[in-house]
Chains A and B, each alone.
Chain A
Amino acid sequence: MISVHNVSFRYPSAKNNTINEITFNVKQGEIFGFLGPSGAGKSTMQKILTGVLRDYSGTVRVFGDEVKNRTGGYYEKIGVDFEFPNFYNKFTAIENLKYFASLYSSKTADPMTLMEKVGLHNDAHKKVGSFSKGMKMRLGFVRCLLHNPQLIFLDEPTSGLDPANARILKNIITEQKKMGKTIILTTHNMHDAEELCDQVAFIVDGRIKAMNTPQKLRNADSNTRVHFRIAVNGEEAERDCLISELGKSSDFQLALRDGTLKSIHSEEQSLEDVFIRLTGRCLQ
């Protein structure tokens, strides 16, 4: 679906490249996440993929065609959800969606049905200017699905949402994946990336520092620590060791044999831990 090879890009007003020799592939039906701190080049990469920035070096092929040669028809096939919502504030939600839907030549979904899915159906006739950030985010998400795009770009889709609404959106994203849609998720929310993505790329200073499935990235470091509590002379004591040395731990073996093991948990790395270890940077 997407094939990016050795892509670099520099804004005319900048001294250095914002994107440096980036290479990756995304298969159809995959959710691919760009994880990185602000200013890392995630949005620029998305602008290259959406055909907005075309003065790049290297090759970017989407749907089999070079993106810099894209025609207007390209935008019939992609949907973009922005981090910062953009609507006519004096128009109602339904007026906005009906207008945006009218720009597509293909048959579009019923805006009310989609709004109902994200809990906005009761606000359909309210002006968007009166919406909260979270409501606008949900409306933007609905807009990017209106024309049933094959490729969806989501930029921080759960930003500003409460946990319940974030869950609804994540469920819809999973549904879209099941329908065979390819999704590019740009985020610095490691929980979203870990839950949703088949593959994530850590991007820092315009370069991909690591790329793999979230599971493999987390398991790459085998030095996971295990913490366990045991009863010693009637009192609880905490012990820990590396997971690879658990079998050799005399305290652990003794507690197992005597039935004095009270609790045990492994301190697995989160994606954020892996990111910090590999890049030396924080995600925020």
Chain B
Amino acid sequence: MRLFSALLNDVHFQIKYGFYFLYTFFSAIYIAVLLVCPQEYKKTVAAIIILSDPAMLGSFFIGGIWLLEKGEGLHRYWVISPLRTLEYILSKSVSLALISTIAANLIVAASLKHDVNYAMLTFSTFVGSMVFTIIGLIVATYAQSVNQYMILVSPLEIIITTPPILAAFGIWYPALDVFPGMALWHLINYSIGKTNHIEAWLFPVLLLWFSAALLLSYRRIPPAMQTEGGNKV
């Protein structure tokens, strides 16, 4: 119940701060791009768009959310409220994964229509977005400003997205599939019908990354919230 309340509040927060407007705006642009894209490139472009935007946008937004809440002094409240650390992390990541998944499905439904496995697309985008959002949340705890956050998170994003982008151009090493960006890339490709075969072990890879990110953030968030007030704990 408390997690549900926190989730509703985060969705409310994202609407108030214009996140839904931004996702709608960018989704409309992506749909337009895909509609005019030549048929032979359409699925590749769609896969890149879904990976780089709906799935990964959460990792940028979460930095803003964390720093905004910090600026408003809310972290001092969270540490003495009944809201548990796990509930805090899940409500943030699920709420952003929700909007990412809706955007990914809308883009695909409006531009590809055929050969789409929506259940797989929903699973991939949802879990992938949660992984990247939680990684972004951990990074955000080390940032003092949005600019500093962008400096810290951008290299990480480049490391995560470079292998899939290279794979889109045919440069691919199987060992890279253990990284979340690559696992997600394969899952997206399969879900939009670009490939008709998927390695079963890519699901646990993504879920393992999710578990690892969750565990790390669970350890990092409480001390990060307590640093407010001028003294490091």
A50 surroundings in chain B (CB, below 8 A): 80
Q: With A75-B82, A80-B80, A82-B77 as given contacts, are A91 and B16 in contact (CB-CB < 8 Å)?
A: yes
Does A104 contact B80, Cβ atoms closer than 8 Å?
Answer: no
Residue of B2, B5, B17, B77 touching A86 (CB-CB under 8 A): B77
- What is the distance, in angstroms, from A226's C-beta to the closest C-beta of chain B? 46
* Residues 1-28 (chain B) with a chain A CB within 8 angstroms: 1-2, 5-6, 9, 12-13, 16-17
Answer yes or no: B233 CB below 8 A from chain A CBs.
yes
Q: With A80-B80, A82-B77 as given contacts, are A99 and B231 in contact (CB-CB < 8 Å)?
A: no
Digitize A92-107: 1 where CB-to-B-CB distance is under 8 Å, 0 elsewhere.
0001000110111100
- What is the distance, in angstroms, from B224's C-beta to the closest C-beta of chain A? 13
Q: With A11-B232, A99-B9 as given contacts, are A82 and B81 in contact (CB-CB < 8 Å)?
A: no
Does A13 contact B81, Cβ atoms closer than 8 Å?
Answer: no
Digitize A68-89: 1 where CB-to-B-CB distance is under 8 Å, 0 elsewhere.
0000110110101010111111
Answer yes or no: A209 CB below 8 A from chain B CBs.
no
Answer yes or no: B204 CB below 8 A from chain A CBs.
no
* Residues 186-233 (chain B) with a chain A CB within 8 angstroms: 226, 229, 231-233
- What is the distance, in angstroms, from A43's C-beta to the closest C-beta of chain B? 7
Look across to chain A and name the residue whose beta carbon is closest to the beta carbon of B77: A86
Does A86 contact B1, Cβ atoms closer than 8 Å?
Answer: no
Answer yes or no: B40 CB below 8 A from chain A CBs.
no
Q: With A13-B232, A53-B233 as given contacts, are A72 and B84 in contact (CB-CB < 8 Å)?
A: yes
Q: Complex Cα distance A73/B9, Å? A: 21
* Residues 60-111 (chain B) with a chain A CB within 8 angstroms: 72-74, 76-77, 79-84
Q: With A84-B73, A103-B6 as given contacts, are A11 and B233 in contact (CB-CB < 8 Å)?
A: yes
Q: Complex Cα distance A78/B80, Å? A: 8
Q: Complex Cα distance A91/B82, Å? A: 21
Q: Complex Cα distance A133/B7, Å? A: 29
Q: Complex Cα distance A50/B1, Å? A: 24
Does A103 contact B73, Cβ atoms closer than 8 Å?
Answer: no
Answer yes or no: A216 CB below 8 A from chain B CBs.
no
Does A102 contact B80, Cβ atoms closer than 8 Å?
Answer: no
- What is the distance, in angstroms, from B101's C-beta to the closest C-beta of chain A? 24
Answer yes or no: A179 CB below 8 A from chain B CBs.
no
- What is the distance, in angstroms, from A94's C-beta to the closest C-beta of chain B? 13
A95 surroundings in chain B (CB, below 8 A): 12
B82 surroundings in chain A (CB, below 8 A): 72-73, 75-76, 103-105
Does A88 contact B72, Cβ atoms closer than 8 Å?
Answer: yes
Q: Complex Cα distance A3/B77, Å? A: 24
- What is the distance, in angstroms, from A54's C-beta to the closest C-beta of chain B? 9
Answer yes or no: A164 CB below 8 A from chain B CBs.
no
B79 surroundings in chain A (CB, below 8 A): 52
- What is the distance, in angstroms, from B7's C-beta to the closest C-beta of chain A? 11
28 A–B pairs (Cβ distance < 8 Å), ordered by A: A11-B232, A13-B231, A13-B232, A44-B231, A52-B79, A80-B80, A82-B73, A82-B76, A85-B73, A86-B73, A86-B74, A86-B77, A87-B72, A88-B13, A88-B74, A89-B72, A91-B12, A91-B13, A99-B5, A99-B12, A100-B81, A103-B2, A103-B5, A103-B6, A103-B81, A104-B82, A105-B2, A105-B82
Chain B residues with CB under 8 Å of chain A are 1-2, 5-6, 9, 12-13, 16-17, 72-74, 76-77, 79-84, 226, 229, 231-233
